[in-house]
Chains A and B, each alone.
Chain A
Amino acid sequence: MINNYKSGTYVLRFFTYILLFVLLLIVIVPIWLLIVNATRSTTEIQQGISLFPSTHMLENYSFLGGRGLNLGQGFMNSLFLAVSSTLVSVYFALLTAYGVVVYNFPGKKLFSNFIVVLVMIPMQLSIIGFYQYMSKLGLTDNYAALILPQIASAGAVFFAKQYLESLVIWDLIDAGRIDGASELRIFHTIMLPIAVPGAATMGIFAFVGSWNNFFGPFIMISSIEKYTLPMLIQTLRGDVYRTEYGAIYLGLAITVVPIIILYTIFSRFIVSGIAMGAVKE
């Protein structure tokens, strides 16, 4: 009986590891192909798939530059947009969440429910009204139209609230009050420093969200020197490059590699942070 159970466990474990390994390949192979092909010449790529890097990365890069497509510029644009969106979203989310967690006021419960509702509403579908409104204000083709809405990022507030609820230390707030600090000052000098780990987790998600965002910039930004990386990918798929696979892959790899580097450094933060927004207990 016991032996049966044991050998049953081994068989089960064996098949489970096979399943996990297959999934691992499904996840890794496309990403790996993308990076490897960025270093291969178009001829090599056309000769077939290889899992080993080659030596043609610089050629591919100069080809991209030769066609007037400035990936460096796109990279800097994406970086600027992602960093400013992240700072705005994290700061205001913590500010709002702090207000909800620390103070009592009429409508507090209503506001919390409202945030939950906002998380579930497809706000992206109002982009047309948003675009027309921004064009009236002269803010189309301007990063401000993409950064300012982050002041009211419901998802970030939802996460920040969950996080602060477990973090707020009343003694410290009271101590600040006794010292005569203003409420806003208490938030800035006492709360923010304590909240750095949560802010980092939120920040990573905000950063990745902005970095990968295609739809928003695609609608709002029109001049090519302001294009972000996902928009350049769309350009890459245009006719000029259709036959230059090496260059296409390099363009794709440049968008993906920074995120992978970020992830290998912070994966612990990230993976434990994902569930924080969803699981209350």
Chain B
Amino acid sequence: MKLAKIPTGYLFLTPFIIGFLFFGLYPVLNTIGLSFTDTTLMSKSSHFIGLDNFKRLFADDVFLKAVGNTWLIWILNFIPQIGFALLLSVIFTNARLNIKAQGVWRAVFYLPNLMMPAAVTALFAAIFNYYGPANQILVRSGFLSEAMRFFDSVWIARGMVVFINWWTWFGQTMIIVMAGMTSIPLPLYEAAMVDGASAWQMFTRITLPLLKPILVFIFVTALTGGMQMFDIPYLLTDGRGAPQSSIQTSNILMFLKFNSSKGHIGAASSVGVLVFITTTVCALGIFYILRDKDMDAAKPTKKSLFKKTAARAQS
């Protein structure tokens, strides 16, 4: 009976595993393989050139600048993203505030996450176009003496990429954080209140520690997504990261090499490989370090907190 069950489980997993081998693993290995060659889309011949592609990436600062841009834009977007998510979650779960129509607020704040990033970016590009409505309003109302070329400014362009990313993700993050918050047992807060803890103390001593697994999950998935950023910076300006390559992310750089007149897919692969490795190491490393501690520490804490609560409630 047991023996008969063993292959069945594998049977159900087979399509996934085959799909993964063909469409997940092999492309990764192929990309790594290509990164050691001078393969182009135009010529049939390709040679093994060792680490030359990688050396070339570090020979000028284009690659490092693209990586720097990606991290900068991601960090600037992630801090307000998680900040607003926490703030809104506290607001919605706070009994004293007792916010009405929660479902509606939450549904609306989540909506941007479903909007096509390409469309939203094109919208912002149109609004802040030289001849666009933003300039008209600012000039007519006297804020600007003459129309401004917004996308000539490094920080306005970056700020806009950051804003669109934030706009897209804060609601989604809020809903995940909130689900985590509502799963924290209420007696913990009641006990803290009896002890005279302030709202801030309750937030930092109860909410945040118990929320840690979810925050780690959000952080890691957001990091992985952020390192692959493409649509928004690509569509906002000229597709090359203008002004002054300030919003050229590593993914855009990879695409530019791929899309160059000869189609240097060897060189493009080397960009993909480096970003793939650094992102994977960061994401899995952070996940592993923070998660393991959690497994050991968080659960007992929760229990001991509970015991303390119960003890205090009785005394």
Instruction: Report A's interface with B, CB cutoff 8 A.
Output: 9, 12-13, 16-17, 19-20, 23-24, 26-28, 30-31, 33-34, 45-46, 48-49, 92, 95-96, 98-100, 102-106, 108, 111, 117-133, 148-149, 151-152, 157, 183-184, 187, 208, 211-212, 214-215, 219, 229-230, 233-234, 236-237, 245, 248-249, 252, 255-256, 259-260, 263, 267-268, 270-271, 274-275, 278-279, 281
Contacts and interface: CB of A to CB of B under 8 A. Distances in A.
B176 A279 contact: yes
Interface in B226-283: 227-228, 230-231, 235, 251, 254-255, 258, 265, 268-269, 272-273, 275-276, 279-280, 283
A237 B235 contact: yes
B111 interface: yes
A103 B221 contact: no
Given A187-B12, A271-B103, A278-B179, 8 more contacts: A45-B133, A49-B137, A99-B9, A120-B224, A131-B265, A151-B19, A214-B231, A274-B175
A131 B258 CA distance: 10
A105 B9 contact: yes
Given A100-B13, A104-B5, A129-B28, A122 B228 contact: yes
Contacts of A230: 116, 118-119, 231
Given A99-B13, A130-B30, A125 B275 contact: yes
Contacts of A33: 123, 127
A133 B116 CA distance: 28
A111 B5 CA distance: 17
Interface string B40-82: 0000000000000000000000000000000000000000000
Given A27-B171, A33-B123, A92-B15, A103 B179 contact: no
**Main SS class of interface, B:** helix
B276 A125 contact: yes
B276 A122 contact: yes
B150 to A, nearest CB: 16
B303 interface: no
Interface of B: 5-6, 8-13, 15-20, 22-24, 26-34, 39, 84, 88, 91, 96-99, 103, 105-112, 114-120, 122-127, 131, 133, 136-137, 140, 167, 171-172, 175-176, 178-180, 183, 214, 217-218, 220-221, 224, 227-228, 230-231, 235, 251, 254-255, 258, 265, 268-269, 272-273, 275-276, 279-280, 283-284, 287
B117 A214 contact: yes
A30 B9 CA distance: 49
The 10 A-B residue pairs with the shortest CB-CB distance in the complex, in nearest-first order: A99-B12, A129-B31, A103-B9, A275-B179, A151-B19, A129-B30, A152-B19, A130-B27, A105-B9, A149-B23
Nearest to A151: B19
Given A30-B123, A133-B26, A126 B97 contact: no
A225 B190 CA distance: 62
A92 B108 CA distance: 31
B91 A20 contact: yes
A87 to B, nearest CB: 14
Contacts of B13: 96, 99-100, 111
Contacts of A263: 107, 111, 114
B231 A215 contact: yes
Contacts of B110: 267, 270-271, 274
A122 B28 CA distance: 10
B118 A234 contact: yes
Contacts of A30: 120, 123-124, 127, 167
18 contacts: A24-B108, A46-B136, A100-B13, A105-B10, A127-B27, A129-B33, A130-B23, A152-B20, A212-B115, A212-B116, A212-B118, A214-B235, A215-B231, A230-B231, A233-B235, A245-B126, A260-B114, A279-B180
Contact of B9 (A46, A104, A211, A245): A104
Nearest to A253: B119
A198 to B, nearest CB: 16
**Main SS class of interface, A:** helix
Contact of B16 (A13, A131, A152, A183): A152
A229 B115 contact: no
B12 A103 contact: yes
Contacts of B99: 13, 16-17, 20
Contacts of A212: 114-118
A59 B91 CA distance: 46
Contacts of A219: 255, 258
A129 B269 contact: yes
A27 B167 contact: yes
Contacts of A271: 103, 106-107, 110, 175
A69 to B, nearest CB: 14
Nearest to B184: A281
Contact of B217 (A104, A126, A278): A278
A176 to B, nearest CB: 13
